[in-house]
Amino acid sequence: MPAKALKMDARRLKHKYKKSLNEFVYYADGFAQVLPEDKHQIVKLLQDQKCIVGMTGDGVNDAPALKRADIGIAVADATDAARATADIVLVAPGLSVIANAIVGSRKIFRRMKSYATYSVAAAVRIVLTFTCLTTIFDYPFPTLAVVMFAIINDGTMIVLARDRTTPSQYPEKRSGLRRINRKELSGVIYLQVSISGLAVVFFTRTDSWFFLDMPHIYLILTFIGAQGVASVIGAYGLGGYVSEGTTFSGGGWGWVLATWIYAIIWELPIDLIKISVQSLMSLRLHSDKSLPLWRRYRLGPKRPPIREAVEQQRKSMEAQREKSGS
């Protein structure tokens, strides 16, 4: 296609090529007589259609498009300007190295996927097997044997890094969340800060483990309501509200779920830290003058408060009275 068609108005382009501008760029096999601004425009139009765009170039005129592309590749003998803006710099002539890199990366991805799938399946199988042995058949399997089993099997699976694999014919896709941009990040950060900030109340309200002291239903409902609102804001943002150059947009419900999981995982150690610090703070340095100097001081729990000591003494006296009365 001629690059001059990119500058046509929408009506003329539709009449001549039967396509809109986005469709014209998407379905074209190539463009001739392109200028630097044309290359930049083509990359941008493809990205607007959720395409991941790779761009090769060797000169100063390619630098804007190389910088705009998701993957900018400076070919061998490219100018310093092209190298500076590119993500990848080829050191060998020709484009076959790109194809080799794609094939190699897809093989690595397949190996990683195989190992991850095996790890999940093996962990579930092991847990279910030994849980059933213990709970149903009352057969406690030796812990040492389980550890040896895990070490030997995982060590054997290291060879998956050199396993034969067939690269996919199509681009590999990670199972998970879509890429999040800077605008959508505002909603996700807001939700994470909201959850992690308010959830601390469940840990600070008690000196013991938080799950041993049930909070009031009003506190639970208030937390659910507040974080429900925060989740909606995290998903949809504030309608594109702009403040100090930052656009407040949402990251979608997929990122909301991921943020909840992330917050829960990192909130749980807080309770462990609280218990550990309280245990350390309860220790006191006690002295016993009847012992030698080098053994006189020891670290142990602090002495009970006076009220507890008086209560213990009262119970002891009552027990003595009952004993003497009998």
Quickly state the pLDDT bin for 183 (edges 50, 70, 90): confident
Mean pLDDT of all residues in 47-72: 90
Bridge-based pairing of strands 283-287 and 297-301 is antiparallel
Contact 226/194 with Cβ under 8 angstroms? yes
More confident residue, 175 or 136: 136
Q: Kindly report, residue by residue over 137-148, the tens digit of the pLDDT.
A: 888 777 788 788
Quickly state the pLDDT bin for 53 (edges 50, 70, 90): very high
CATH superfamily of 3-94: HAD superfamily/HAD-like (3.40.50.1000)
Mean pLDDT lowest for which of 172-181, 261-270, 292-301? 292-301
List the one residue out of 56, 51, 55, 60 whose CA is nearest residue 27.
51
Axis-axis angle for helices 217-236, 253-281 (nearest 10): 140
Q: How high does pLDDT run on average in the chain? A: 81
Contact 230/190 with Cβ under 8 angstroms? yes
CA 48 centroid distance within chain: 26
Which range among 65-79, 121-135, 238-252 has the greatest average pLDDT? 65-79
- Residues in a beta bridge with 242: 247
Which range among 10-14, 156-160, 208-212, 245-249 has the greatest average pLDDT? 10-14
Contact 81/67 with Cβ under 8 angstroms? no
Tokens of residue 172, six digits = 């590999």
- What is the CB neighbour count within 10 angstroms for residue 167? 15
* Backbone φ and ψ of 252, nearest 5°: 90, 165
More confident residue, 30 or 177: 30
Q: Kindly report, residue by residue over 204-254, the tens digit of the pLDDT.
A: 777 777 777 788 888 888 889 999 999 998 888 887 677 666 677 888 888
68 has a pLDDT exceeding 70: yes
Question: In Å, how far are 169, 226, 237, 257, 262 from 197, measured between CA atoms?
Answer: 46, 11, 19, 17, 13
pLDDT for the residue 301: 61
Contact 36/61 with Cβ under 8 angstroms? yes
Quickly state the pLDDT bin for 192 (edges 50, 70, 90): confident
Q: What percent of the chain has pLDDT over 90?
A: 9
Contact 317/300 with Cβ under 8 angstroms? no
pLDDT for the residue 43: 93
More confident residue, 216 or 279: 216
Q: Residue 123, exposed/middle/buried by CB under 10 A (0-12, 13-18, 19+)?
A: exposed
The CA distance from 119 to 111, in Å, is: 12
Mean pLDDT of all residues in 61-85: 89
Mean pLDDT of all residues in 35-62: 90
Cα dihedral 226, 229, 234, 238 sign: negative
- For residue 245, the 8-state DSSP code is T
R_g (Cα) of the chain, nearest Å: 33
The CA distance from 141 to 251, in Å, is: 46
CA 53 centroid distance within chain: 25
162 has a pLDDT exceeding 70: yes
36 has a pLDDT exceeding 60: yes
Q: Is 18 helix (H, G, I), strand (E, B) or coil?
A: coil
- Please state the domain extents for the chain: 3-94, 98-162, 182-281, 283-325
Q: How far apart are the first and last CA of the chain?
A: 111
Q: Is 88 helix (H, G, I), strand (E, B) or coil?
A: strand
Alpha helices, DSSP H only, in the chain?
A: 10-17, 21-27, 36-48, 63-68, 80-85, 96-135, 143-157, 182-199, 201-204, 217-236, 253-281, 306-325
Entry pTM = 0.46
